[in-house]
Amino acid sequence: MGKEIDQNYYKTEKHNILIDGVASIDYIKNNIVYEVKKSDKQHEMGVNQLKYYLHLLKLRGVDMKGRINYPLLKKTEDVVLKEDDEGIIIKNLEDIEKIIDLAVPPEPICLNVCKSCAYYEFCFS
């Protein structure tokens, strides 16, 4: 579905802009970073993903706003990186580093969101 949206919407925009090989922005237009989602079921994850991209750009001296596009729902949502968000992102990145440094990863906890996550097979098979 994601590929279908990629091929049929926003055809004139430059797609998949990489930031240092760690993040892939869907596209940028008029100084707004766009993230395209097929549904808003994982709304919070989409917002956090976009805030992370805005954080990466800010670290590189680029201050931008974000917008999530839901083309199938015909709606958009503006996303702004606030000071509080940056503290949370930094803390989350530190927590991720600690997990990466473990000899054995912790057992995954299956949440509702896991069932539709692209990494489900990695975590639970």
Report the nearest approach of ligand SF4 to the CB of residue 3 (Å): 20
Secondary element (H or E) of residue 34: strand 32-36
DSSP state of 119: T
Q: How many residues form the binding site for ligand SF4 (CB under 6 A)?
A: 8
Query: With binding defined as CB under 6 A, does residue 93 bind ligand SF4?
Result: no
Query: With binding defined as CB under 6 A, does residue 87 bind ligand SF4?
Result: no
Closer Cβ to ligand SF4, 31 or 112, answer by number: 112
DSSP state string for 61-106: T---EEEEEETTTTEEEEE---HHHHHHHHHHHHHHHHHHHSSSPP
Please, are residues 98 and 106 in contact by the beta-carbon 8 Å criterion?
A: no
Query: With binding defined as CB under 6 A, does residue 117 bind ligand SF4?
Result: yes
Closer Cβ to ligand SF4, 12 or 119, answer by number: 119
Among 3, 30, 119, 125, contact with ligand SF4 (rule: CB under 6 A): 119
- Sorted by sequence, the CB contacts under 8 Å of residue 78 that are 6+ apart come out as 65, 66, 67
Can you read off the two tokens belonging to residue 80?
Answer: 């702004």
Closer Cβ to ligand SF4, 76 or 116, answer by number: 116
Among 2, 108, 112, 125, contact with ligand SF4 (rule: CB under 6 A): 108
- Residues forming contacts to ligand SF4 in the complex (CB under 6 A) are 108, 111, 113-114, 117, 119-120, 123
